[in-house]
Structure 1
Amino acid sequence: MEHLILNLPGSLPHLSLLNSLISSSDSRISEGEFRFDQLQKHFDSLNVQYAFGSEDCTGIVKRIKYDSTTNTFTGFPSLLDHGMPVKSYYQTDSFDALKLWLNSISKASLLNVHMIQPVQSADNSSIPSPYLLSAYGIDNTATANDILQRWWYIFNQSLQRNIRIIGFSTGADLKHLRAMRLMSGFLGALPNFQVHQHPQAFQIKIRSHWSWFYLCEQELLLFFQDPTHLVTKWRNRLLSATADLCLGNQSVSINHLHDISENDTYSKLDHG
């Protein structure tokens, strides 16, 4: 980078200038901060109203770092209050307090990330880029109730800014799947939480012969599991010597894939 700057004067800004521009813009993200106001500006610039939310976590290197801009220590698992991370919780000027945290609190092993995908209108063929709403460290102790309260908070905060979240997507974690099931009313219900009576709930027209459809006729949100995790599960089932992959009343095995791949009448599109 420095070599390019020296040989192309005036064409590329210096690294210090780039860092200054990033620091002075809204690109900087503080751990545990949910950037709803910036999200609203992003949606206003795209002229879209509907969006799909996603939440997933990934493994990280356990490490404690000091953030001088917020005077906080990052790398500890975020404290959750009604499912929401408490911003700048690990903020102190006391060495004894830091020493106590290091000796009594395990480092965060996962990074939880929230993304918001704008949904473009039918007459717009371009797909808007997703927006990073928040990111923070966790230790996998959150419950399904924490996730439900977090989704509910994101939905309401977005709705106040004229952004309608139409659904959420997550990975294959059992807590996320339980939160999906309870929120959608799939063979379960939330006591004292009539989400299907929300004014923003939509009506599902169920056909009379859909005996397999177990969702409520009124839904507030849609839910999808991360396709990468789904395909991984399908692959493991196909390669398993003991488990079966069933679709309805029919089963699928690795032999079916062999028959398709070795049959010359099928094209690559048929294989997909």
Structure 2
Amino acid sequence: MELYNSIKNFALSLYILGGKLTYEFLRLNLPGSLPHLSLLNSLISSSDSRISEGEFKFDQLQKHFDSLNVQYAFGSEDCTGIVKRIKYDSTTNTFTGFPSLLDRGVPIKSYYQTDSFDALKSWFNSIDKASLLNIHMIQPVQSTDNSSIPSPYLLSAYGTDNTATANDILQRWWYIFNQSLQRNIRIIGFSTDTDPKYLRAMRLMSDFLGAHPHFQVHQHPQTFQIKIRSHWSWFYLCEQQLLLFFQDSTHLVTKWRNRLLSTTAELCLGNQSISINHLHDIIENDTYSKLDDGLTKSDINPKDRQNFSSCLKLTSNDLMIYSTF
């Protein structure tokens, strides 16, 4: 039985990570070693890890946290581009691929569900297909006596057309916070990219140079106290905060890299400006080798806008030392 579970878990991992073609190629070339696709599909359908569009899996999240024996977590939200197409989900009898309708910022589950051909035709004629997939991840925060980082949990995913407002985002975060708190999970903050709508939601909820009249979060019993130093005249946040907010560091550093490699924009550090020409000089300088800084011409290719490994090289201590010479 233990061997069967190991093979099953390996087969599921291979199918999810490698895809259908990779799995079938290995299964046909290793006869009898891997289960058929029909068995994998039935295993996925019967498991509680199946994701339905617009569903927030708070109960499964609680089980995940109980298994890890943790209580605190950080939430994140981001969108990614997808291929526009409509699909029918026979399990939930719904059509997916349309932008999810929001109710106080929260997507309505199984909204596009109908047995009428006329209703489906009306949706196709009047509603644009979703161009983005919005994903919510929850990252457990490990205890001080645990050095390993717990695995994150996919809370929800749904299609969107990027028309949500900062107020929708704020209400959605408030919903996630309260639903998690009811299950003894304390969300201590949220992290997103640098989209202005997310930044405005962060500012309103943290009462940073503005406040929302219907969200008095600083009166919540779960608020914590920030001890502000007396000489911090530049610190404008309230001393009582319910949540912490961070911009995604990956987005920030890639935007910094793209600005650095731009031929039209100028990037200033202090009272000096830096540009891609400085990096060209380091690469073409015979005094340095790739072993010293690890920098190559592909790292400063401006067309590759999501090259995160290049960001790590550009911000390394070795490169900073050479750039000061």
TM-score, structure 2 as length reference? 0.75
Contact 1:148 1:183 in 2 (8 A): yes
Change (3 A) 1:23 1:237: same
Give CA deviations for 1:119-168 in whole Å, capped at 9, x if unaligned.
11011011111100000000111000000000000000000000000000
In 2: Cα distance, 1:48 partner to 1:248 partner? 42
**Shift of the alpha carbon at 1:237?**
3.7
**Shift of the alpha carbon at 1:12?**
2.9
* Paired residues, number: 271
Contact 1:65 1:74 in 2 (8 A): yes
Give CA deviations for 1:217-272 in whole Å, capped at 9, x if unaligned.
11111111111211123224434567565678887666887899999999999989
In 1: Cα distance, 2:286 partner to 2:221 partner? 54
In 1: Cα distance, 2:233 partner to 2:215 partner? 26
**Shift of the alpha carbon at 1:6?**
5.6
In 2: Cα distance, 1:49 partner to 1:271 partner? 41
In 2: Cα distance, 1:3 partner to 1:194 partner? 57
In 2: Cα distance, 1:123 partner to 1:231 partner? 31
Change (3 A) 1:264 1:41: farther
Change (3 A) 1:59 1:158: same
In 2: Cα distance, 1:206 partner to 1:81 partner? 38
Contact 1:171 1:229 in 2 (8 A): yes
Give CA deviations for 1:36-64 in whole Å, capped at 9, x if unaligned.
00000000000000000000001111100
Change (3 A) 1:27 1:263: same
In 2: Cα distance, 1:216 partner to 1:260 partner? 45
In 1: Cα distance, 2:48 partner to 2:151 partner? 16
Give CA deviations for 1:173-200 in whole Å, capped at 9, x if unaligned.
1101110111111111111321111111
Contact 2:54 2:107 in 1 (8 A): yes
SS, match of residue 126 in structure 1: coil
SS, match of residue 281 in structure 2: helix
Contact 1:43 1:49 in 2 (8 A): yes
In 2: Cα distance, 1:268 partner to 1:182 partner? 47
Q: Which runs of no fewer than 5 residues in structure 2 stay unpaired?
A: 1-23, 295-325
SS, match of residue 205 in structure 2: helix
Could you say which structure has the greater relative contact order, defined with CA pairs below 8 angstroms and 6 or more residues apart?
1
Instruction: Decide which of 51, 60, 63 is 2:73's aligned counterpart.
Output: 51
246-255 or 108-117, which deviates more: 246-255
Change (3 A) 1:263 1:125: farther
In 2: Cα distance, 1:186 partner to 1:265 partner? 49
Contact 1:261 1:271 in 2 (8 A): no
Give CA deviations for 1:53-78 in whole Å, capped at 9, x if unaligned.
00000111110010000110000000
Contact 1:51 1:117 in 2 (8 A): yes
Instruction: Decide which of 17, 20, 42 is 1:20's aligned counterpart.
Output: 42
Change (3 A) 1:105 1:213: same
Q: Could you tell me the percent identity over the aligned residues? A: 90
In 2: Cα distance, 1:132 partner to 1:107 partner? 23
In 2: Cα distance, 1:109 partner to 1:91 partner? 20
150-159 or 10-19, which deviates more: 10-19
50-59 or 244-253, which deviates more: 244-253
TM-score, structure 1 as length reference? 0.89
98-107 or 247-256, which deviates more: 247-256
**Shift of the alpha carbon at 1:20?**
1.1
**Shift of the alpha carbon at 1:15?**
2.0
Name the structure 2 match of 1:223. 245
262-271 or 126-135, which deviates more: 262-271
Structure 2 residue 194 is matched with structure 1 residue 166 = no
11-20 or 198-207, which deviates more: 11-20
Contact 2:262 2:276 in 1 (8 A): no
RMSD value, Cα: 2.8
**Shift of the alpha carbon at 1:3?**
5.5
